[in-house]
Amino acid sequence: MGAPPATPLDHLVAAARGAADAAGAWLAGLRPPLRKATTPATPSFPGAAKAAARVTREDVGRATWTLLHSVAAAYPERPSRAQRRAAAALVDSLAALYPCAECADHFREHVKHRPVDASSGAGLRTWACEVHNDVNDALAKPRHPCAPPALARRWPALECEVDGRVACAVHRK
């Protein structure tokens, strides 16, 4: 006996299957070929491999000290009132927002006993060195000499020029 005649529903099901197969083949064409899991991905930008690593408390500490000592190295000997306010605000902001609550609490205590001296470049450099030594003491790390020549050797003003102009000095206002 032959197969029963196809109903309209059979036609519909066959058409839907055909469409699904075609869509599957199309998607397979889009999919990238499987790569062996051991193949390392090429970093997409310089430093990408480092960026993927977790930032540690030590990383943030070193970066923050670099910022503070570099700001101090470029800070004018006769700062304007706005610059003095900005330096004090930078220290206040660090004490409030430092991304390690315990470190921020300790830092606030240090600053209470050793208020920031933003009255001159020499004052800010010495203060940054001394407050860093306060933190070093608390962490049983070696102290750094705070005499101006030793500080200038470790934290000289930045070197950068754009079109022959020094581009790293602090703004005059």
Ligand X SMILES: Cc1cc2nc3c(=O)[nH]c(=O)nc-3n(C[C@H](O)[C@H](O)[C@H](O)COP(=O)(O)OP(=O)(O)OC[C@H]3O[C@@H](n4cnc5c(N)ncnc54)[C@H](O)[C@@H]3O)c2cc1C
Interface residues with ligand X (CB under 6 A)?
A: 57-58, 61-62, 64-65, 69, 94, 98, 102-103, 106-107, 129, 132-133, 135-136, 139, 141, 144, 154
Q: What single letter denotes the amino acid at residue 105?
A: D
Closer CB to ligand X, 135 or 170, in the complex: 135
Question: What is the secondary structure of the chain as a DSSP string?
Answer: -PPPPPPHHHHHHHHHHHHHHHHHHHHHHHSPPP--TTSPPPPSSTTHHHHHSPPPHHHHHHHHHHHHHHHHHHS-SS--HHHHHHHHHHHHHHHHH-SSHHHHHHHHHHHHHS----SSHHHHHHHHHHHHHHHHHHTTPPP---SHHHHHHHSPPP--EETTEE--SPP--
Decide whether 74 or 94 has the Cβ nearer to ligand X.
Answer: 94
Closer residue to ligand X in complex, CB, 58/163: 58
Whichever of 110 and 170 has its CB closer to ligand X, that residue is: 110
Distance in Å, CB of 151 to ligand X, minimum: 6
- Tell me how far, at minimum, the Cβ of 42 lies from ligand X, in Å: 30
Q: How far is the CB of 91 from ligand X (least distance, A)?
A: 9
**Shortest reach from residue 150's CB to ligand X, in Å:** 8
Nearer to ligand X, 18 or 145 (CB): 145
For residue 114, the minimal CB distance to ligand X (Å) is: 12
